Amino acid sequence: METGREASAAIRIRPLEREDLKFVHGLDNNANVMRYWFEEPYEAFVELQDLYNKHIHDQSERRFIVDHQGQNVGLVELVEIDYIHRRAEFQIIIDPAWQNHGFATAAAKLAMAYAFDALNLYKLYLVVDNENVRAIHVYSKLGFQAEGVLIHEFFANGAYHDATRMCIFQHEYRSLYGSDSGPAAALPGDGPDPVR
């Protein structure tokens, strides 16, 4: 069995492709996953295909499959990319069957490298359910800091939930991770294994 470090070393991110939609559809219809995305676990496959077709050329988002040795284990997204203010929202889902292997941390680092080095963004932010203590721990460990609490921001499972908006800036990222995580480490498709 792989340790978390060995498993995360084999992680790479690559652009979401049409053939990945079945995997994403499974995540989008999993109540345990969608509860933390503040969305109803209900999406028809044709709806997902339509969204993919609509957004395939949208420059305000980048969606990546988290790949572990050829197996789809998650999805990481940079959405609402704003090239004037140089910011984007960060989102990640790791398939519940693949959680607790360090994949979220590894994939997040790759997405952060892509955002800050390849896209030259200044700020990444995210919104996390205050009850999702594990995610908050991972984000804090990665260098994200709380910006504020959003009171009763989302309705899920019959109740309103508070959420925390967290962020990290490019200079903070570079201070934590240096510049050798640069674009070559994050760009999908560079070499046989662009992720270290």
Active site positions, annotated? 139
Region label for 119, one of left (φ > 0), alpha (ψ between -120 and 50) or beta (otherwise): alpha
| CA dist., res. 150 & res. 109, Å (int) | 25
DSSP β-ladder status, 71-82 and 11-15: unpaired
Which CA distances in Å does 83 have to 56, 91, 98, 147? 18, 18, 33, 21
Q: In which residue are the tokens 């676990």 written?
A: 41
